[in-house]
């Protein structure tokens, strides 16, 4: 078990190092002069030289890469060009919006999707099953940002129940802040609900065919207990795997959804940094998001290894 | 064989409905090359935000341009970006996957590291990296979505090809002295074509969604070229005055993607019901 986990962790670390090389090469080596990317080709030579000196772009690439990685390990990410503040602080200020948003979306998706999938599997072939499957098909086809706009049209413009966008801040008003995350979390969770309910359904159908389920039914165990205790518990492995994978995509989805709702989260910071050509911020956020995705995947491997002893033999 | 496929296809309601939806989008894109109800980029501020009428069936946008014409031309953008991105991903991915299955060993190991690396960057992040340095354009969006598709096809090809390498007819070809390249081209690829076709359909849907997302963020096709995603971004400012602007382009995206997903699922049933596919994006 330990050897399996150590191998997975080593593989994730190798991927992360490779990713950091890719990010560095794309942002700082391929364009030739990063200072020119940040200031534009028409910038004055002395301004360019000043920026190069400020961010150390005049040093050799290898030296810059090593000092960047060394900084990353202690969360010393340098200063933003556009904001003039430490990147670590910028990210810390924004993560308090993005993290609750992602968690709300994931929680909501799990609460809705798993019962929906179990329900559909228990009534296989019925109109209810078709409805759930149809919803699943629709859920993966609707872009989350459009669903967000539709939610704004309905709940904010027509019913005036929830705010259309913006975020007051946790310190200003906790309740209002929570309210302003409801629609974005709903928008973000649609495709997750669709995918998760389909996986739950098919995983449940697989386990419902197993001998122990037939035995439980033959013994007279009530259907609800058969579904929840015997089938769902064993169907959970693929569900957990997919839920974890979706967590990675939630982070990417947040970039767009935060733009729709004008939430001052990490996604908005990335978006603003692209417009400001703030390579320092982009470089660090991209590698941190990548690290998060890899870490979540590693956690799934750990969960998987605990839930099911088989994969560690084949992996 | 062909005859039976079409006969079965006609009786598959999901496939037919999907094909109809995709057919409408493709037809819109083709027709818009030669004809649109109004010029799609004709700015007439006096006619801005008009409600639907006989002259403007879906109304006009914030610059007085006909929404229907812009949605029709937007179909061209979506289809072109999706098609080229999937073609890039499929060509390179199939080559890599088939190579890994044929050679195993270190080639296989490098491919799986490469897949992990690309999967660690969601498509949007990849696009952000590319566009923040090289600027926002349809070409860079295609590149980002295309790169993301390479490992998707590589993994599916590798898995399907590995099964083929264990089959008797491939062993027989090997015994006859055929090299790995000939076996891959003559025996392996033709036999996994159905898997690849289904995966390509699904990835096309994923690519259209990704393109819409990128152009919503301003990282895709640039004005004056209309794109469905950007139209939705612009529409957000006018939600109170002209909600239709925020509804129709989104409907176009959702119905096209839904159609492609239904065609993909239908093809899977029709070609090989045992297929296991990836859905990432």
pLDDT for residue A145: 95
Q: Which two tokens stand for residue A25?
A: 């090469």
Indicate if the pLDDT at residue B153 is higher than 70.
yes
> What's the gap between Cα B204 and its chain centre?
2
Smallest CA-to-CA distance from A103 within A294, A232, A296 is with A296
- Which pLDDT band, with edges at 50, 70 and 90, does B161 fall under? very high
Mutation site for B-interface testing, chosen from A143, A153, A275 by largest number of B Cβ within 10 Å: A143
pLDDT for residue A261: 95
Look at the block and give the residue holding tokens 């179909």. Answer: B75
Quote the mean pLDDT of chain A. 87
Please tell me the class of the B2-280 domain. mainly alpha
Indicate if the pLDDT at residue A153 is higher than 60.
yes
Indicate if the pLDDT at residue B273 is higher than 70.
no
> What's the gap between Cα A178 and its chain centre?
19
> Which positions in chain B touch A282 (Cβ < 8 Å)?
128-129, 132
Contact call for B205 and A138, based on CB within 8 A: no
What are the φ and ψ backbone dihedral angles of A79, each rounded to 5 degrees?
A: -105, 145
Q: Which of A173-182, A297-306, B188-197 is predicted with the least confidence, judged by mean pLDDT?
A: A297-306
Q: Which of A77-91, A221-235, B46-60, B137-151 is predicted with the least confidence, judged by mean pLDDT?
A: A221-235
- Which pLDDT band, with edges at 50, 70 and 90, does B227 fall under? very high
Write the CA distances from B45 to A170, B42, B48, B63, B66, integer angstroms. 42, 10, 5, 5, 12
Could you please report the per-residue DSSP string of A224-260? HHIIIIIIIHHHHHHHHHHHHHHHHHHHHHHHHHHHH
The model carries a pTM of 0.89
Look at the block and give the residue holding tokens 């320092």. Answer: A280
Give the helix, strand, coil percentages of chain A, each rounded to 5.
80, 0, 20
User: pLDDT tens-digit profile of A192-206?
Assistant: 999 999 899 988 988
Task: Give the residue from chain B lying closest to A294, CA to CA.
Answer: B120
Percent of the residues in chain B that have a pLDDT greater than 90, as a whole number: 59
| CB distance B264 to B34 below 8 Å | no
pLDDT for residue B275: 52
What three-state secondary structure class fits A218? Answer: helix
Contact call for A289 and B217, based on CB within 8 A: no
| CB distance B14 to B265 below 8 Å | yes
pLDDT for residue A136: 92
pLDDT for residue A34: 80
> What's the gap between Cα B230 and its chain centre?
18
> Which positions in chain A touch B232 (Cβ < 8 Å)?
145-146, 149
Could you please report the per-residue DSSP string of A58-109? TS-HHHHHHHHHHHHHTT---B-TTT-SBHHHHHHHHHHHHHHHHHHHHHHH
- Which pLDDT band, with edges at 50, 70 and 90, does B281 fall under? very low
Q: What is the Cα gyration radius of chain A?
A: 24
Contact call for B213 and A143, based on CB within 8 A: yes
Look at the block and give the residue holding tokens 């590698």. Answer: A287
**Rounded-to-integer distance, Cα B80 and Cα A148, Å:** 26
pLDDT for residue A238: 80
Percent of the residues in chain B that have a pLDDT greater than 70, as a whole number: 95
List the end-to-end C-alpha distance of chain B, in Å, as a whole number. Answer: 34
Angle at B269 between CA B166 and CA B148, to 5 degrees: 70
Of B11 and A315, the one with more pLDDT: B11
A274 part of contact set with chain B, CB < 8 Å: yes
Quote the mean pLDDT of chain B. 89
Task: Give the residue from chain A lying closest to B234, CA to CA.
Answer: A260
What are the φ and ψ backbone dihedral angles of A41, each rounded to 5 degrees?
A: -70, -15
Question: How many CB atoms within 10 Å of residue A126?
Answer: 12
pLDDT (average), residues B263-279: 72
Smallest CA-to-CA distance from B141 within B212, B189, B36 is with B212
A11 part of contact set with chain B, CB < 8 Å: yes
Q: Please tell me the distance in Å from B200's CA to the nearest CA on chain A.
A: 16
Q: Which two tokens stand for residue A4?
A: 């399996």
Q: Which two tokens stand for residue B131?
A: 């566009």
> Biggest alpha carbon distance in chain B?
76
CB pairs under 8 A between A and B: 131
Neighbouring-strand partners of residue A86: A79
The residues spanned by each domain of chain A are 2-73, 93-275
Indicate if the pLDDT at residue B232 is higher than 80.
yes
pLDDT (average), residues B172-177: 91
User: pLDDT tens-digit profile of A72-104?
Assistant: 998 888 888 888 899 999 999 999 999 999 999
> Which positions in chain B touch A242 (Cβ < 8 Å)?
none
A69 part of contact set with chain B, CB < 8 Å: no
The residues spanned by each domain of chain B are 2-280
Contact call for A150 and B261, based on CB within 8 A: no
For A93-275, CATH number out of 3.40.50.2300, 1.10.10.10, 3.40.50.720, 1.10.3720.10 equals: 1.10.3720.10
Indicate if the pLDDT at residue A308 is higher than 70.
no
Smallest CA-to-CA distance from A11 within B162, B124, B119, B146 is with B119
What three-state secondary structure class fits B66? Answer: strand
What three-state secondary structure class fits A222? Answer: coil
List the end-to-end C-alpha distance of chain A, in Å, as a whole number. Answer: 11
| CB distance A86 to A167 below 8 Å | no
A273 part of contact set with chain B, CB < 8 Å: yes
Q: Please tell me the distance in Å from B267's CA to the nearest CA on chain A.
A: 15
**Rounded-to-integer distance, Cα B22 and Cα B281, Å:** 20
Contact call for A146 and B134, based on CB within 8 A: no
Indicate if the pLDDT at residue B20 is higher than 70.
yes
Indicate if the pLDDT at residue B165 is higher than 50.
yes
Indicate if the pLDDT at residue B35 is higher than 60.
yes
- Which pLDDT band, with edges at 50, 70 and 90, does B274 fall under? low
B117, B130, B250 member nearest A15 (Cβ): B117
Torsion angle of C-alpha atoms B258, B264, B269, B275, degrees rounded to 10? -130
Residues of B with CB under 8 A from a CB of A: 113, 116-117, 120-125, 128-134, 205, 209, 212-213, 216-217, 219, 229, 232, 235-236, 239-240, 243, 246-247, 250, 253-255, 257-258, 261-262, 265, 279-281
Indicate if the pLDDT at residue A176 is higher than 70.
yes
Q: Please tell me the distance in Å from B152's CA to the nearest CA on chain A.
A: 15
Q: What is the Cα gyration radius of chain B?
A: 22
Look at the block and give the residue holding tokens 């001998």. Answer: A211
Task: Give the residue from chain A lying closest to B263, CA to CA.
Answer: A137
pLDDT for residue A53: 82
Task: Give the residue from chain A lying closest to B257, CA to CA.
Answer: A141
| CB distance B183 to B102 below 8 Å | yes
Angle at B84 between CA B79 and CA B89, to 5 degrees: 125
A141, A157, A279 member nearest B254 (Cβ): A141
* Distant-in-sequence contacts of B124-128, Cβ < 8 A, 24+ apart: B124/A252, B124/A253, B124/A255, B124/A256, B124/B210, B124/B213, B124/B214, B124/B217, B125/A252, B125/A286, B125/A289, B125/A290, B127/B210, B127/B214, B127/B219, B128/A255, B128/A270, B128/A274, B128/A282, B128/A286, B128/B219
- Which pLDDT band, with edges at 50, 70 and 90, does A314 fall under? very low
For this complex, say whether ipTM is above 0.95.
no
Q: Please tell me the distance in Å from B186's CA to the nearest CA on chain A.
A: 31
Contact call for A249 and B243, based on CB within 8 A: no
| Cβ-based burial of A132 (10 A; exposed 0-12, middle 13-18, buried ≥19) | buried
User: pLDDT tens-digit profile of A280-300?
Assistant: 899 999 898 888 888 888 888
pLDDT for residue A242: 80
> Which positions in chain A touch B216 (Cβ < 8 Å)?
143, 145, 256, 259
Task: Give the residue from chain A lying closest to B252, CA to CA.
Answer: A142
**Rounded-to-integer distance, Cα B258 and Cα A61, Å:** 46
Indicate if the pLDDT at residue A313 is higher than 50.
no
Indicate if the pLDDT at residue B280 is higher than 80.
no
Contacts of A162 (CB under 8 A, 6+ apart): A155, A156, A179, A180, A182, A183
**Rounded-to-integer distance, Cα A143 and Cα B78, Å:** 14
Indicate if the pLDDT at residue B148 is higher than 90.
no
Look at the block and give the residue holding tokens 């176009």. Answer: B252
| CB distance A194 to A135 below 8 Å | yes
Indicate if the pLDDT at residue A307 is higher than 80.
no
Contacts of A141 (CB under 8 A, 6+ apart): B205, B209, B254, B255, B257, B258, B261
- Which pLDDT band, with edges at 50, 70 and 90, does A43 fall under? confident
A9 part of contact set with chain B, CB < 8 Å: no
Interface of A with B in 191-230 (CB under 8 A): 195
Smallest CA-to-CA distance from B135 within A253, A30, A77, A144 is with A30
Interface of A with B in 70-89 (CB under 8 A): none
């Amino acid at each position: 078990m330990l050897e399996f986990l150590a191998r997975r962790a080593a593989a994730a670390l190798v991927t992360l190092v490779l990713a950091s090389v890719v990010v560095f090469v794309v942002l700082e080596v391929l364009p030739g002069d990063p200072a020119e990317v940040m200031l534009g080709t028409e910038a004055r030579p002395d301004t360019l030289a000043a920026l190069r000196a400020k961010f150390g772009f005049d040093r050799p690439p290898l030296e810059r890469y090593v000092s960047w990685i060394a900084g990353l390990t202690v969360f010393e990410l340098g200063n933003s060009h556009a904001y003039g503040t430490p990147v670590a602080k910028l990210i810390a200020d924004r993560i308090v919006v993005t993290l609750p948003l992602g968690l709300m979306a994931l929680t909501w998706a799990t609460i809705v999707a798993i019962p929906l999938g179990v329900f559909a599997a228990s009534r296989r072939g019925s109109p209810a099953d078709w409805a759930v499957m149809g919803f699943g098909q629709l859920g993966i086809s609707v872009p989350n940002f459009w669903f967000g706009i539709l939610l704004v049209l309905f709940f904010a413009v027509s019913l005036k129940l929830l705010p259309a966008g913006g975020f007051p801040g946790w310190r200003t008003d906790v309740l209002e802040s929570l309210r302003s995350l409801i629609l974005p979390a709903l928008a973000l969770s649609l495709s997750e609900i669709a995918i998760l309910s389909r996986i739950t359904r098919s995983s449940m159908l697989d386990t419902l065919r197993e001998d122990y389920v037939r035995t439980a039914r033959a013994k007279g165990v009530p259907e609800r207990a058969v579904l929840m205790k015997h089938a769902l518990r064993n169907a959970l492995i693929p569900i957990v795997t997919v839920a974890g994978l979706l967590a990675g995509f939630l982070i990417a989805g947040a970039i767009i959804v935060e733009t729709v709702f004008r939430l001052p989260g990490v996604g908005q910071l990335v978006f603003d940094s692209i417009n400001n050509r703030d390579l320092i911020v982009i470089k660090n956020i991209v590698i941190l998001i990548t690290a998060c995705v890899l870490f979540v995947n590693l956690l799934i491997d750990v969960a998987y290894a605990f839930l099911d002893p088989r994969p560690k033999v084949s992996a | 064989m062909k005859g039976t496929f079409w006969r079965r296809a006609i009786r598959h309601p999901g496939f037919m409905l999907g094909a109809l939806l995709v057919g409408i989008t493709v037809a819109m894109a083709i027709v818009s090359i030669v004809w649109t109800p109004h010029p799609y980029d004709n700015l007439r501020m006096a006619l801005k935000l008009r409600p639907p009428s006989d002259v403007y069936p879906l109304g006009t946008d914030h610059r007085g341009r006909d929404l229907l014409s812009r949605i029709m031309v937007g179909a061209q953008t979506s289809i072109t970006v999706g098609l080229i991105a999937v073609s890039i991903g499929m060509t390179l991915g199939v080559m890599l996957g088939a190579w890994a299955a044929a050679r195993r060993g270190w080639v296989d190991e490098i491919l799986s590291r490469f897949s992990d690396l690309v999967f660690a960057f969601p498509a949007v992040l990849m696009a952000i990296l590319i566009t923040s340095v090289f600027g926002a354009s349809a070409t860079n969006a295609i590149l980002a979505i295309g790169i993301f598709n390479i490992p998707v096809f590589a993994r599916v090809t590798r898995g399907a090809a590995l099964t083929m390498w264990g089959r008797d007819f491939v062993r027989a070809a090997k015994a006859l002295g055929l090299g790995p390249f000939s076996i891959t081209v003559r025996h392996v690829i033709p036999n996994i074509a159905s898997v690849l076709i289904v995966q390509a359909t699904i990835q096309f849907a994923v690519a259209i969604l990704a393109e819409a997302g990128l152009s919503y963020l301003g990282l895709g096709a640039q004005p004056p070229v209309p794109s469905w995603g950007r139209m939705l971004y612009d529409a957000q400012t006018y939600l109170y005055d002209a909600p239709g602007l925020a509804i129709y382009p989104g409907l176009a995206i959702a119905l096209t993607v839904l159609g492609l997903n239904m065609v993909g699922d239908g093809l899977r049933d029709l070609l090989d019901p045992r297929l296991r596919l990836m859905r990432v994006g």
